[in-house]
A and B are shown apart, each in its own frame.
Chain A
Amino acid sequence: MTPRHPIRTLAAKELSILLNAPATYVIFFLFLLITGYLFVAPLFSVGVSTLDSFLRPLPLIFTFTIPALTMRSFSEEYRAGTIEYLSTLPLRDYEIVLGKYVAALGLIGALLAFTLIYPLILLIVGRPDIGQLVGAYASIIGLVVFYAAIGVWASSVTRNQVVAFIIGFFVCFLFFLLGRVAEMVPGVFAAFLRGWAVETHFDALARGVLDTRDLIYWASGATFFLAACLASLNARRWR
């Protein structure tokens, strides 16, 4: 008998656990507090209605928010020993990884749903470019897809949630930092680094420029880290 919708079932169970954890709400609160301030400050001080002040720092804010939300994905399973039970159910390893990943995306999606109030306010108080708003959220989704894969992978390499957070943060931060480093190095090397940096692809899409290279960047980055997660899960059995 083959399990029905194993990824969906696993993701639903995972989401239920994450939504029961007080830490989730603390992270939600801090994220909304920071982004809320960043959004509101220029609106009142300069009187400009733009999503930029919320959007620009997101690649940096997500470097710690997303690993914080994903750090328990596999680490907690290892610590509690539930990975043994999960791995002896009729599930393929990739279904377990995707179940965790979909749950992480669902949780971050719920967090992002709260931020929809920012463009809504802009629509009420001004006349923002709709295309740019859509582009902004498309770039946020790209960033989330990439960082969430890093976060889930980081949690698969250790049984300690704090270590998983630190690894996830450093890898996300590394991809963020590449853009800044590119500004300090000469010509060809700078272009190479910019190609790897999240900000390059985030900014392009946020400006409303739809480029397949950006989509490939997010998709291939996420695929790479999910494959690494799968390898890490598999490697534990052979130790």
Chain B
Amino acid sequence: MIDINNLTKTYGSTLALDHVSFKIEPGQIVGLLGPNGAGKTTLLKLLTGYLPPTEGSARLADLDVTDHPLAVRERVGYLPETNPLYDELSVYESLVWTARLRGKSQETVALRRVIETCGLGSVVGKDIAELSKGFRQRVGLAQSILHDPDILILDEPTSGLDPNQQLEVRQLIQTLKQKKTVILSTHILSEAQSSCDRVLIIHRGKIVADGSPDVLGQTAARTRLSVELKGPVDAVEERLNALAGVQRVARQRGSAAGSALFDVETDPETDIREAVFDVAVQNRWPMLQLTVEGASLEDVFRQLTTTS
């Protein structure tokens, strides 16, 4: 469905995307993760044909984006990062002109469908300038799915939304999952973990990890434990740091009076649970909590995107 081959983009002397290659099968929701400036938006702009590549090729629905830009745009729905909308138009006007430009033969049916899917019924007569950010995002999404595209490209679809609005947009994306291939960029890791079948982590214009969120989590080079012992904080920290295999001990807030709560990171081969228990017994520090947090996508993300 999407086939990217050695895609490269430079802005003057700045290399924004560096020979990126990957394939996406139909029906997948793929999350593009990366810190700000990693090249996520550039990649999506290349996929929509908004920007021409410096090198390499992108094929969407078996069509080369550079050679058949119009045919590709007919099959793609795109929500840009800033969700640009015409504030002067009403929601209805905005959807109508998009439908007309998209050449929808059954304009009314398509409008009714997206208004219902995106929950826009209550604001359809309002000017876009009057809408909350959540509703604006829904209008942007409605515009992008109006023509029932095979491929949906969403650039940070939940950016700037409150947690409730984020959940609504995620649920909306999930409803589209059955019928469409979705590629969405985000730097909200929980969003990628909960919404995506597959995650691509991009850093400095390169794909540095590719896999399902769970599999990627297992590749983390650390395991994390949450340890709470009732004892002197400094002494507990010192003893935990001295255990074999421990890479980092971080003091946490929220522990009860007289106890110390720590995040302990170890290398994945070492299981320190018994050693922690021994420390507690030897020092007569009652153990209040010992939880294995496991490695998460966040760990992988941090490892891969904080290296120089």
Contacts and interface: CB of A to CB of B under 8 A. Distances in A.
Interface string A81-121: 11111011111100000000000000000000000000000
A237 interface: yes
A238 B51 CA distance: 7
Interface stretch (A3-11, A34-42, A63-71, A179-187): A3-11
B144 to A, nearest CB: 9
Q: Which of A4, A5, A21, A90 has the most CB of B within 10 A?
A: A90
B138 to A, nearest CB: 15
Given A16-B93, A85-B80, A3 B48 contact: no
Nearest to B94: A13
B142 to A, nearest CB: 13
B80 A9 contact: no
* Interface SS, A side: helix
B229 to A, nearest CB: 53
B135 interface: no
Interface string A178-212: 00000000000000000000000000000000000
A1 interface: yes
A81 B84 contact: yes
B100 A4 contact: yes
Contact of B78 (A3, A13, A88): A88
Interface string B85-106: 1111100010001101111110
B50 interface: yes
B42 to A, nearest CB: 12
B97 A88 contact: no
A20 interface: yes
Given A17-B89, A81-B80, A239-B11, A1 B74 contact: yes
Interface in B41-61: 45, 48-52
Given A1-B147, A82-B84, A85-B84, A237 B51 contact: yes
Nearest to A91: B101
Contacts of A82: 84-86
A20 B127 CA distance: 11
Contact of A89 (B87, B102, B105): B102
A12 B88 CA distance: 13
A17 B94 CA distance: 11
29 contacts: A1-B102, A2-B103, A3-B100, A3-B101, A3-B103, A5-B100, A6-B101, A9-B100, A9-B101, A13-B86, A13-B89, A16-B93, A17-B86, A17-B88, A17-B89, A80-B84, A81-B84, A84-B45, A84-B50, A85-B80, A88-B78, A89-B101, A90-B70, A90-B71, A90-B74, A91-B70, A92-B70, A237-B50, A238-B52
Interface of A: 1-6, 9-10, 12-13, 16-17, 20-21, 80-85, 87-92, 237-239
Given A83-B84, A84-B82, 18 more contacts: A1-B74, A1-B147, A3-B101, A3-B102, A13-B89, A16-B93, A81-B82, A85-B85, A88-B78, A88-B80, A89-B98, A89-B101, A90-B70, A90-B73, A90-B101, A91-B101, A92-B70, A237-B50
